[in-house]
């Protein structure tokens, strides 16, 4: 077995070489959860040195990126995104309103070690394409970091809000409802064969997080929440400009009071209550065997299946979700 020994190596450089070997060169590709952890480790060490450097008085994520060599900036921006995702996943140094360290209970139901699971209803890849993509802004933040200020730092606000949103889904859809012993293996086949031992709550949890459907409804969820915040003047004019420029992921850069979370809960309830998630007919059971997001965009937004036509009257679009606030 060939062995490579490094004597007094630059550890930070080796981390980056190791990450590149697995991600770019694909010698043995890491799972996404491992890549996030590795990128977070690289970024947090470098960023900590920058924050503690007395030579720089005004500090920010953008300032840090601009302070390093030009050829490293693009890779370090990627590591920043890894860092932000891991903070939400693991709640690193993230305290809630009561001062107690938060826990993202959603990840109790996410498969983090293999691409597909026969046990858990959610893949790590799906979380990447949904909650992370729509509610974390991957661009370096311009706001100055001042640990002595009483003003909440937007990245802390963003992370806390997203952890709270994901934990709401865990409490409403997964905890006490998804049965690990039933799992997800060939669930739709069992439904089509008339298996009556699968509870509605378990079926809802399974279908809601089917990857292609998850991608589409999460996009609608983000827009419904953003529209609510805009209508209630929670999102600033500057954030509206950012959204027009295509930077729509700063939805959670605002502090949300109880009224705001009550509205978001109603939006989630509206989503979860839709009959499609527990419909046991063959048409819908076959539909959940589809893997293309665009199939589910037509199904959820229009209530239609190509070649079949209308299959339910009340589509799950942005307006449908927003209407839940009035319930």
Interval 158-211: pLDDT, tens? 999 999 999 999 999 999 999 999 999 999 999 999 998 999 999 999 999 999
- Distance, in Å, from the CA atom of 211 to the CA atom of 196, rounded to the nearest integer, reads 24
| Mean of pLDDT values over 121-128 | 95
State the Cα angle at 206 between 203 and 204, rounded to 5°: 40
pTM of the model: 0.88
Interval 182-191: pLDDT, tens? 999 999 999 9
Interval 126-139: pLDDT, tens? 999 999 999 999 99
Interval 263-285: pLDDT, tens? 999 999 999 999 999 999 999 99
Interval 246-255: pLDDT, tens? 445 688 988 8
* Residue 124 clears pLDDT 60, i.e. is over it: yes
- Distance, in Å, from the CA atom of 154 to the CA atom of 159, rounded to the nearest integer, reads 9
Mean pLDDT of the chain: 88
Q: Are 125 and 215 in contact (CB under 8 A)?
A: no
């Amino acid at each position: 077995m060939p062995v490579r020994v490094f004597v007094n190596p630059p550890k930070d450089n080796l981390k980056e070489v190791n990450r590149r070997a697995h991600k770019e060169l694909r010698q043995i590709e890491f799972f996404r959860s491992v890549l996030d952890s590795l990128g977070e480790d690289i970024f947090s060490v470098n960023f900590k040195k920058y924050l503690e450097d007395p030579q720089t008085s005004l500090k920010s994520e953008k300032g840090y990126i601009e302070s390093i060599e030009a050829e490293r900036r693009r890779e370090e921006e990627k590591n920043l995104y890894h860092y932000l995702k891991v903070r939400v996943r693991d709640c690193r140094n993230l305290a809630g309103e009561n001062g107690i360290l938060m826990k993202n209970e959603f990840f109790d139901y996410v498969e983090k070690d293999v691409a597909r699971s026969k046990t858990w209803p959610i893949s790590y890849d799906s979380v990447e394409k949904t909650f992370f993509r729509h509610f974390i802004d991957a661009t370096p933040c311009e706001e100055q970091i001042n640990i002595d200020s009483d003003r909440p730092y937007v990245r802390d606000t963003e992370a806390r809000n997203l952890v709270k949103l994901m934990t709401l889904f865990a409490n409403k859809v997964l905890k006490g409802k998804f049965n690990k012993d039933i799992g997800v293996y060939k669930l739709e086949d069992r439904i089509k064969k008339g298996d009556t031992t699968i509870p509605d709550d378990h079926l809802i949890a399974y279908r809601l997080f089917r990857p292609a459907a998850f991608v589409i409804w999460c996009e609608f969820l983000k827009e419904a929440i953003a529209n609510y915040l805009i209508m209630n003047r929670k999102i600033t004019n500057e954030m509206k400009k950012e959204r027009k420029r295509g930077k729509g992921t700063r939805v959670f850069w605002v502090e949300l009071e109880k009224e705001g979370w009550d509205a978001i809960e109603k939006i989630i309830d509206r989503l979860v209550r839709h009959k499609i998630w527990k419909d046991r007919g063959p048409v819908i059971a076959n539909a959940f065997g589809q893997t293309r997001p665009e199939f589910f965009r037509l199904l959820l937004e229009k209530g239609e299946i190509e070649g079949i036509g209308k299959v339910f009257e009340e589509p799950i679009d942005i307006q449908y979700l927003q209407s839940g606030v009035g319930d």
